[in-house]
Amino acid sequence: MFVRDAKALCPHLVIIPYNFEAYEVVANQFYDILHKHCNRVQAVSCDEAFLDVTDRVDEDAEHTTSVIRQEIFEAIGGTPSAGVVANMLVACHTNC
């Protein structure tokens, strides 16, 4: 949501400044971890992505997801959410 839209809905909204450089560092760590595990990463935002792991069919997708989540938690400190679905169409609908 754009700030102007948020202020239209909530005129007393207080906007707190953010540290873009810190976001960039964390986003780079996040994407480095994703690329370590997958060659096909589609970025959605600074903290959201879709991964196509069909080339890793011999591996357990849920285990791979757990490993990626743990690495993100250890590197960044946040608790990431993740899901495993059969195709991009389902992923897009599940994400909405």
21, 24, 48, 62: the catalytic one is 48
Q: Is 48 a catalytic residue?
A: yes
User: pLDDT tens digits for 49-68?
Assistant: 988 887 776 678 888 889 99
Compute the 3-state secondary structure of the chain and give helix, strand, coil in percent, each to the nearest 5: 55, 10, 35
38 phi, psi to nearest 5 deg? -155, 135
* DSSP track, 64-78: HHHHHHHHHHHHH--
- Measured CA distances, 55 to 26, 83, 84 (Å): 27, 17, 14
Does CATH place domain 19-95 in 3.40.50.2030? no
| pLDDT of amino acid 62 | 84
| pTM recorded for the entire structure | 0.75
- Residue 49 · residue 34 · CB < 8 Å: yes
